[in-house]
Structure 1
Amino acid sequence: MLHYCLAHLAYHFSRQLPKRSRAKLPKSSRYCGQPLLVNLTSFIIFTFIMTGFTVILTLMDPIPNEVKVAFHVYGVGSFAQGIATTAFTVPASQCANTTPELYYLSLVLSVLSVLATVFVGFLIPFWLADVFNKGMVSNHRSRAGVCQKPVANCSYLWHV
């Protein structure tokens, strides 16, 4: 209902603008040469998809393989989105003067994307080692494995 309400309000507020200026997007002093707004829109779409996966992954037990595959494909797409965000933000320093909110939001999202990539990049070798040699990294039943002590309290890091 929130999305319906927002669209409804946007419709009514847009009617307050003169007809001739509703669809114009002039190049003015508030113009950013990089596609940061388009990138932010795709970032919002990824956020909605992430919300769906969060609900599915927290409510389902066991998780079907199709959902796991879809989640990992989403992860690859999210990685590409992070690269695109960073690639668009780095050369957009002139946008800090024209559209500072958009630029700084893109900058924060770029930094968070890089940090998330580093974190997942650190975990990938452990995930792969556990796939190829089950229980080598962390075996919860026998309480053995290379990483059993460090992850005894946070076993949720290992897999979906």
Structure 2
Amino acid sequence: MFLYLLILLAYQSSRWIPKNRRLKFQIVNAMFAGLVLVPQLYVLTRPKSARYCRRPLLSNLVASVALSIVATGFSVVFTVLDAVSQGLWASCHVFGLMSFGQGVCSAILTLTAASCAITTPELYEVSFCIVVASVLSTAALAVKGGLWLTKRRQQ
């Protein structure tokens, strides 16, 4: 859910800025996407990450990198377009479900891979960071959804 939250934050933040002044924000958005992607790619290319681990943490990291690239694309498109179509929003929400599923899989794999903390420490630490980010962002989106539902019921 972390990546989905980043997309929503990029969209909401870009709406506060006039359209003719969004270029600086788009550059900052791309740099922030790099901050999310670079550590994952670094750990992915480390020779230590290819060591044996009973759980498929490396495959999970590859999936996380792929989803991070898609999230970067969504955030760039959402900040460039002035009016986002319903189809694009629907695909973003489907991506959010995929991001939630990847977060759940990461949590299960990481919490059951204590031995991998010894054999592949960087891979385990990145997986643990992904799990923490997923849990925190899921909680934030649950609070946001609860507030939205409360507001809708009052109308």
TM normalised by structure 1 equals 0.62
Provide structure 2 residue ranges, at least 5 long, that are not aligned to the other structure: 1-49
C-alpha deviation, 1:126, in angstroms: 2.3
Match of 2:139 among 105, 118, 121: 118
Aligned CA-pair RMSD: 1.7
Does the alignment pair 1:104 with 2:117? no
Matched with 2:112 is 91
Matched with 2:86 is 65
Question: Whose relative contact order is higher, 1 or 2, with alpha carbons under 8 Å and at least 6 apart?
Answer: 2
- Aligned pairs, how many? 106
Q: Work out the percentage of aligned pairs sharing the same amino acid.
A: 37
Q: Deviations over 1:74-99 (max 9, x none)?
A: 11110111001111000101001101
Q: Distance in 2 between matches of 1:79 and 1:69?
A: 15
Note the 1:12-23 alignment, pairs <5 A: none
CA 1:61/1:132 → structure 2, altered by over 3 Å: closer, same or farther? farther
Mean alpha-carbon deviation: is it higher for 123-132 or for 88-97? 123-132
CA 1:57/1:131 → structure 2, altered by over 3 Å: closer, same or farther? farther
Q: Distance in 2 between matches of 1:115 and 1:129?
A: 21
C-alpha deviation, 1:31, in angstroms: 1.2
C-alpha deviation, 1:125, in angstroms: 1.7
Structure 1 residue identity aligned to 2:135: V
Secondary structure of the residue aligned to 2:112 is: coil
Matched with 1:15 is none
Secondary structure of the residue aligned to 2:84 is: coil
Write out the 4+ residue segments of structure 1 that deviate beyond 2 Å after TM superposition. Answer: 126-133
CA 1:115/1:46 → structure 2, altered by over 3 Å: closer, same or farther? same
Does the alignment pair 1:55 with 2:70? no
Provide structure 1 residue ranges, at least 5 long, that are not aligned to the other structure: 1-27, 137-160
- Could you say which structure has the larger radius of gyration? 1
Q: Distance in 1 between matches of 2:87 and 2:79?
A: 16
Structure 2 residue identity aligned to 1:115: L
